[in-house]
Amino acid sequence: MTSPAHPDPLPTTPPTRPDPHAHADRAASFDRDADVYAQVRPGYPDEAVEWLLPAGARHVLDLAAGTGKLTEAALVVLGRRDPAADVVAVDPSESMLDQLSARFAGVAAHRGTAESIPLPGASLDAVVVGQAWHWFDAEAAAAEIARVLRPGGSLGVVWNVRDTSEDWVARFGEILHRGDALEPVEAEPRGPELGAAFDTVEARTFRWADRLPAAALRTLAGTRSYLLTLPDAERAERLDEVDALVETHPVLAGRSEVRLPYVTHAFRAVRR
């Protein structure tokens, strides 16, 4: 008996496009172009991270660490206080953690989520979360963070929000979020709801500016979850609009480097 020379191919299902208005699809979009994310997303001001990390903290988790933007700032702050202090990173994205590990070889990196942290109970002095709390199941994440923190340990949550009091920054944001059905965090950063395991949430803001090449505004725009999940043609149109803004706005036109202002919103609470 011989096999057919050309067996009928198995039926295939075309890949499903991500939905730009679906929370889960947006949360999963950062696997795409993790190296670009690492290059252009802003870090965090030292003074904000100093405020987030309690005195005496030696074992710190950067939760939803991504490519290590907050990891880097935490390492700087902790290194000044205690060279023996360490940071561990947890994120669900393997490609993001690959970028983090390439930059910070001494940081232990684990795949995991805020709702299922692969670390022992009561093993940490602090947990920090940068630009990610809105992707979590808040109730489950608060309970899991309380589990891994020692009593008296601290949770710090931080967001960089573009300062739209400058006209060009407001126009940049309008391009990024036009038609976005999910409320952008920039609209109103709120402290996390943590439940009975934590004391009252404290809040502070910090103003600073990131400097980047003017041409990198297009690249930065392309790392936003809404644009990452738009159809390719629409995404390209939005990125072309960013280029046009850079070429024509009087604050940006002809500049090789731009100053992008941020307001960093920081929140912290102590584990009871």
Q: Is residue 128 part of a domain?
A: yes
Q: Is residue 53 part of a domain?
A: yes
The reported pLDDT for the residue numbered 182 is 79
| Percent of the chain residues topping a pLDDT of 90 | 82
Q: Is residue 170 part of a domain?
A: no
**Mean of pLDDT over the chain:** 91
Q: Indicate the number of domains in the chain.
A: 1
User: Cβ atoms within 10 A of the Cβ of 93, count?
Assistant: 22
Q: Is residue 225 part of a domain?
A: no
Structural domain boundaries, residue 85: 23-162+181-209+261-270
Summarize pLDDT for 7-61 with one digit per residue, the tens: 444 444 445 777 877 767 775 666 667 889 899 999 999 999 999 999 999 999 9
Q: Is residue 236 part of a domain?
A: no
The reported pLDDT for the residue numbered 142 is 98
Q: Is residue 81 part of a domain?
A: yes
State how far the Cα of 27 lies from the Cα of 66, in Å rounded to an integer.
12
Q: Is residue 176 part of a domain?
A: no
Q: Is residue 247 part of a domain?
A: no
The reported pLDDT for the residue numbered 185 is 60
Domain CATH code at residue 129 = 3.40.50.150
Question: Which whole number is the average pLDDT over 104-112?
Answer: 97
pTM of this structure: 0.87
State how far the Cα of 73 lies from the Cα of 106, in Å rounded to an integer.
15
| Nearest partner of 115 among 63, 193, 184, 53, judged by Cα | 63
